[in-house]
Structure 1
Amino acid sequence: MPPTRSRLLRAATGALFVLPVLGTALPASALAAPAAPAAAAATQAAQATQNAAFAAWADRFAEDWVRLNPQSATSTQYFSGSEQEALDRQLTPQTPAQRKKVVALAKTGVARLDTFLAGPLSEEQRTSAAVMRWSLANTVASEPYEDYSFVFNQFGGVQVGLVNFMTTTHPLRRAADVSSYLARLDQIGARMDEALARAQAATAKGLIPPRFILERAQFQVDKFLEPAAGQNVLVTTFAQRSEKLSDLAPEARDKAIADATRIVETKIRPAYRRVQAYLAALHPKTNDTAGISRLPNGAAAYQHALRTYTSTNLTAAEIHAIGLREVARIEGEMDRHLRTLGYTEGSVEQRMAKLDVTFQPKAEPDPRPELLRKYADMVADAERRSASIFNLTPRAPVEVRREPPLTEPSAAAHYTLPAPDGSRPGIFWVPMRGPTFDVIRMRSLSYHEAVPGHHFQLAIQQEQTGLPKFRAQRIFGGGSAHSEGWALYAERLAVEQGWYEGDVPGLLGALGSELFRARRLVVDTGLHTKGWTRQQAIDYGIGAQEVERYVAWPGQACAYMIGMLRIIDLREKAKKELGDKFSLPAFHDVVLKNGSVPLDVLGEVIDRWIVVQKAA
């Protein structure tokens, strides 16, 4: 565990911090004492002046860190001129040597940051240093467990990650970007072969995925290879996007499309076929045992995953218990609302299923376009409602788009950041598999992924001119507990603010979404420490695709509710200490303008803000 983690999710006083809004408490074992009293720390930070040496070092280090990951450099457009153009022509290597470089640089950064943190820093610099150290220390601590995430998993696996990057993230703004696209396309085969070598090495160590995870990856690889090269998604999306380039001559575009087709045929498809053969050969060696505990040293790998994703010292047993308590509480609320609609018989799950049926759209004509329009309307309505409880709002727009066909069969809804240069909006991606659709949860999903959830949080961070560039661009961040905790907090905020007034089915959808996150705590820990099967998890009320996500991504599902509980705890603490001086929009400002930070750092930021507000 990285040293900074020992302070994560600390309590202000007492053995427990109680969350009166949600009726939950986190055990004291999850917490550690702060390094110094909050008031003293705030005073020291306020008195400190800018440390020029730290500012210069941090900027240089962040640039070196980004240079190790050209794809990150592209997604953030971190540099300019010839250096950015050169990085835009490269794909990040997948080799052991590359991984060693990353870990070595992280270790160097941690050592230097410890020196800076022991000396004078301004308040903002101390936050930046703490964020950097948490992120780098986690990189070092994660090294022994890197191969526990299957290289070709169905969510972030290389076989889909490279395709999504090329079709969505790689910029096509002008004719010069076409050459960069082709240069990167020419490297995909090599990156796939590197990933294949990594997967083979993991297999040799007994790190083998469950059969149903392997089969999802097989489906994606088969789907990619299905069309001829000219109809491959890497060619068709390139043709579509390049058509809009005013400075690209028609004959140059035709040649570029022909070059792309040739690269796909001669280099990329053969590499995918090699992966296809590997997956087929591995299939007989797999079984349906789901949890990470099935793997060598799997228990330690899972505990590390929980620390990474929840930013706490909570054990799997403690998280399981929190989940069970929250499930009982939320089901009690849902039962009351279901009874008002006349649904009195059967379990909450059975009654919700009956309610869902009444909201299903007709199969013909295809309801998807209309559902996408409704999602867009819900996001626009949330923007209007947010005006009274947020001072900070993003300049960048957000769009709702359907998940691409390659990933739609196994994808969950998600959000991608706008391009810093304004060439791409924030995007709320919605899988629309059908034939049934989760209509009554559309509002809560919109609040989570778009407004005031991830879009507010991540786009605002990117637009902050007062933050160092490496924080605004999330080069170093606070992990899933902060980002997913905020998005779930946004869902809860909508309930608290009465956004569902007159819409009991929508309110039940929101409570159902919160119940889903509580069940995640139970299911994730059940799968990875209690021997639960895939079917047991499904029977507990989690959909098959979601269960498979937890199997491929241990611990991540626990970040949402644990993060939300901490944010609400900090809000309630601020309310109690500030009384009439407390402002909800101002609280939201301080959380959002500081961007993605570890939960202990967020606590320190709020403590300092409380001191300042008291003195105002």
Structure 2
Amino acid sequence: MPSSRQRSLRATIAALFIPAVLAGVSLPAAALAAPAAASATAAKPHKAFDVWADKFAEDWVRLSPQLATMTQYFSGAEQAKLDRELTPLTAAHRQKVVALAKAGLARLDKFKSAPLDDSQKISAAVMRWSLQNTVANEPFEDHSFIFSQFSGVQVSLVNFMTTTHPLRNKADVDSYLARLEQVGARMDEALARGRAAAAKQLIPPRFILERAQFQVDHFLKPAASQNVLVTTFEQRTAELKDLAPEARAAAIARATRIVEEKIRPAYGRVKDFMAEIHPRTGDVAGISRLPNGAAAYARAVENYTSTKLTPEQIHEIGLREVARIEGEMDKHLRSLGLLEGDIETRMKQLDERFQPKGEGDPRPAIIASYGEMVRDAEKRSASLFNLKPRAPVEVRREPPLTEPSAAAHYSLPAPDGSRPGIFWVPLRGPKFDMIRMRSLAYHEAVPGHHFQLAIQQELTGIPKFRSQRIFSGGSAHAEGWALYTERLAVEQNWYEGDVPGLLGALGSELFRARRLVVDTGLHAKGWTRQQGIDYGIGAQEVERYVAWPGQANAYMIGMLRIVELREKARKELGDKFSLPAFHDLVLGAGSVPLDVLGELVDGWIARQKKA
């Protein structure tokens, strides 16, 4: 039973979700009973909307060849052409994207009075929300350092080439080399953007710059023949049946030349730029240090939470949730005989108990354990979900280039089945986060991001641009779901007999609550990097929030909203409430803004009452 404080908190969040994205049309409850099935009285599909929306989505994807590759959105010659290109990083290209977004919004306005059916209304809402954010975010894009350690161009291009670009046959090999030829040019485009931002005093704090400098140095350290763009290419082409040994050797030699003659010099120019701006950097962490920084942070918060919550309100929600979760953890820590010190101190003592013992590198065994946890979660999820992904999921260690600063994350399976979903785990060592392994596996893989994103990709009852997340509901929906599944595992007694694992799960939820406090503290209250660390967030995580303002708020705000909607449905439906059916509704809608999800749940409740 939620406390009065929790009920008040939920009411605050529910009241502040951004309304009126639904193409100017109020969604009738009965019409939103299910995302993929219209009621008998629903409007017929408006053909003109479908024709326009499909074409617009295609034009949108064409502006990002890398997105086209990730989703394999086209087929035949067009897809093959896009698979040979890297997305431009010029200011002119950015303006093309914004201009197309504005054109899309203007066309959506003309459909406001059109007789759209239920699915079309959801599609229009998702498109409108995504395009509005594209336009609203553009003035603040340079507030994020283009060479940040977390998702900067110097690592994102390498990750794309080594992991996402497909190498299924010799045609893909040729496309890889064509793209490799463009990496240096894209780095120079990013460099031009970085210089333009620096001229406007938009530069990172020193500790962020130094993390990025480390990555560039790491990339440049080996000879071209041992560069990651060559070694992974060599590994991934080893089993290609239609690639003759001589052709493979020639391709590897060409890749080596490109890295030596074009890519390494471009990285060298970025290195020089970083050294050039280093004396101008300081230790102030928050985005408020930058010109127009407060407005940039307010926009980031709205973008990532899809609410009108202010940084101050989010800070207070975080403080309340931290107090609630720490109270729960205290009881369980005492049951294990850990009585002295604050929660952080006692959790560190518990962590010590479970550190790997013995000789040798424990990392292979840890990865294997994660795999076992994912398989176990699939069995436990069987009774809670009707919708399940067809694509498999694997656990892999984060690559060396990004491991020093990476967080665990999930990458989608290839739509053609050539790549599984991947749960990436950084294992920096020498200590490892052992008691939180289960909750992390649930969040990133099953039933978290893998269920959510792979299922959406496989849905057939929604337009392709929604199943492929060309337009989506943003971080609050995606990360809110993943954190919701962590809580679901606790609620469903998956940790029965495993108090340390339960504490790890509660610790993970506490971590997300602390994120609200630290992210808003850094960017709206003048906190230092050290204050964030002292509040219980690791240094790499604090630096992630500095490089990616606002995103850390998405998890807890999204989860609280999903729980609030579930409990509303449970209360109103009583014996008619079905947890698997609720999960099917959330997953079957695909990625939607959270206010649209609220409309969907209201429609589902009305439909179940009539059944």
Q: TM-score range by the shorter chain?
A: over 0.9
Match of 1:246 in 2: 241
1:340 aligns with 2:326: no
2:29 to 32, 39, 44: 39
Match in the other structure for 2:150:
155
Instruction: Give, in angstroms, the shift of residue 38 of structure 1.
Output: 5.0
Partner amino acid, structure 1, of 2:253: A
Q: How does 1:212-231 map to 2 (within 5 A)?
A: 212-231=207-226
SS of aligned partner of 1:427: strand
Identify unmatched segments of 5+ residues in structure 1: 1-15
Deviations 1:13-43 (A, max 9, x none): xxx99855x9755357624677748537659
Structure 2 match to 1:136: 131
Q: Equivalents in 1 of 2:239, 2:435: separation in Å?
A: 38
Deviations 1:517-561 (Å, cap 9, x if unpaired)?
000000000000111000010000000000000000000000000
State the distance in 1 between where 2:198 and 2:492 align: 51
Does residue 270 of the first structure (1) align with residue 265 of the second (2)? Answer: yes
Residues 530 and 560 of structure 1: is their aligned pair in 2 closer, same or farther, counting only changes over 3 Å? same
**Shift in alpha-carbon separation, 1:340–1:25, aligned structure 2, 3 A:** farther
Shift of 1:449: 0.2
* Partner residue of 1:72 out of 50, 67, 73: 67
Give the TM-score normalised by the residue count of structure 2: 0.96
Q: Is the 8 A contact 2:398 2:427 kept in 1?
A: yes
Which whole-Å CA distance do the structure 2 matches of 1:98 and 1:575 have between them?
A: 48
Distance in 2, matches of 1:534 and 1:101, equals: 37
Q: C-alpha distance in 1, partners of 2:28/2:340?
A: 51
* 1:124 paired to 2:119: yes
TM-score by length of 1: 0.95
Determine if contact 2:230/2:252 at 8 Å carries over to the other structure: yes
For residue 546 of structure 1, what is the amino acid of its counterpart? E
Cα deviations across residues 378-430 of structure 1 (Å, max 9, x unaligned)? 00000000001000110000000000000000000000000000000000000
Q: CA deviation at 1:604?
A: 1.1
**Is 1:466 aligned to residue 461 of structure 2?**
yes
Would the aligned equivalents of 2:413 and 2:454 in 1 still touch at CA under 8 Å? yes
Q: Pick one of 286, 289, 301 that aligns with 1:291.
A: 286
> Of the candidates 195, 202, 220, which is equivalent to residue 190 of structure 2?
195
Q: Conserved in 2, the CA contact under 8 Å of 1:24 and 1:326?
A: no
- 1:337 deviates by 0.5
Between the aligned partners of 1:399 and 1:577, the Cα distance in structure 2 is 39
Amino acid across the alignment from 2:584: D
* Residue 547 (structure 2) pairs with residue 544 (structure 1): no
Corresponding residue of 1:596:
591
Which residue number in structure 1 is paired with residue 393 of structure 2?
A: 398
Q: CA–CA distance in 2 between the matches of 1:106 and 1:243?
A: 42
Q: Secondary structure of the residue that 1:531 maps to in structure 2? A: coil
| Alignment partners' CA distance in 1, 2:251 and 2:360 | 38
Q: Which amino acid aligns with 1:346?
A: G
CA drift at 1:118: 2.6
Structure 2: segments with no counterpart, 5+ residues: none
Q: Secondary structure at the match of 1:439?
A: coil
1:439-458 → structure 2 map (5 Å cutoff): 439-458=434-453
Separation of aligned partners in 2, 1:603 and 1:363: 51
Would the alpha carbon gap of residues 17 and 124 (structure 1) be closer, same or farther in structure 2, given more than 3 Å must change?
A: farther
SS in 2 for 1:535: helix
Is 1:413 aligned to residue 408 of structure 2?
yes
The answer (yes or no) to whether the contact 2:27–2:599 under 8 Å persists in 1 is no
- State the match for 2:376 in structure 1: 381
The question of 1:318 aligning with 2:313 is answered yes
Determine helix, strand or coil for the equivalent of 2:435. helix
Residues 466, 38 of structure 1: CA spacing in aligned structure 2 closer, same or farther, 3 A cutoff?
Answer: closer
Structure 2 counterpart of 1:435, one-letter code = P
SS in 2 for 1:288: coil
Contact 1:103 / 1:143 at 8 angstroms: preserved in 2? yes
Provide the secondary structure at the position in 2 that maps to 1:475.
coil
Residue 117 of structure 1 deviates from its aligned partner by: 3.0
Provide the C-alpha distance between the structure 2 equivalents of 1:488 and 1:441, rounded to a whole number of angstroms. Answer: 13
Question: CA contact under 8 A between 2:30 and 2:606: conserved in structure 1?
Answer: no
8 A Cα contact 1:417 1:455, kept in partner: yes
1:484 to 479, 484, 491: 479
Give the partner amino acid of 1:51. H
- 1:514-525 equivalent positions in 2, closer than 5 A: 514-525=509-520
Q: What are the superposed Cα offsets for residues 95-140 of structure 1, whole Å, 9 maximum, x if unpaired?
A: 0110010000000001111221332111011000100010011100
Pick closer, same or farther for the CA change 1:352–1:401 going to 2, 3 Å: same
1:47 to partner: Cα distance: 2.4
Distance (whole Å) between structure 2 residues aligned to residue 529 and residue 552 of structure 1: 15
User: Contact between 2:30 and 2:603, CA under 8 Å: does it hold in 1?
Assistant: no
Structure 2 Cα separation of the partners of residues 586 and 400 of structure 1: 29
Tell me how far 1:514 sits from its aligned partner.
Answer: 0.3
Q: Secondary structure at the match of 1:392?
A: coil
Compute the displacement of 1:259 (Å).
Answer: 0.3
Partner in structure 1 of residue 423 of structure 2: 428
Does structure 1 retain, via aligned residues, the 8 Å contact 2:18–2:595? no
Q: 2:12 aligns with which of 14, 19, 26?
A: 26
1:176 paired residue number: 171
- Contact 1:306 1:555 (8 Å CA) reproduced: yes
Matching residue of 2:550: 555
Is contact 1:17–1:25 with CA below 8 Å preserved after alignment? no
* Cα drift, residue 362 of structure 1: 2.1
Question: In structure 2, what is the Cα distance between the partners aligned to 1:411 and 1:26?
Answer: 33
* Contact preservation (8 Å) 1:383, 1:452: yes
Find the aligned partners of 1:444 and 1:31 in 2 and give their Cα distance: 28
Supply the distance in 1 between the matched residues of 2:18 and 2:553 (Cα, whole angstroms). Answer: 20
TM-superposed CA distance for 1:610, in Å, is 1.5
Work out the CA distance in 2 between the residues paired with 1:17 and 1:273.
58
SS at match of 2:533: helix
Counterpart residue identity of residue 199, structure 1: G
Give me the CA root mean square deviation: 1.7
Contact 1:27 1:318 survives alignment (8 Å): no
Worse-matched range after superposition: 570-579 or 388-397: 570-579
* Residue 496 in structure 1 maps to residue 482 in structure 2: no
Q: Which amino acid in 2 is paired with 1:114? A: D
Residue 562 of structure 1 and its aligned partner are, at CA, apart by 0.2
Matches within 5 A, 1:508-587: 508-587=503-582
Q: Deviations over 1:341-380 (max 9, x none)?
A: 1111111111111111000002621110111110000000
Contact kept? 1:30, 1:314, Cα under 8 Å? yes
Q: Which residue of 1 aligns with 2:57?
A: 62
* Equivalent in 45, 51, 54 of residue 50 of structure 1: 45
Identify the residue that residue 232 of structure 1 maps to in structure 2: 227
SS at structure 2 position matched to 1:186: helix
Distance 1:165 1:66 in 2: 16
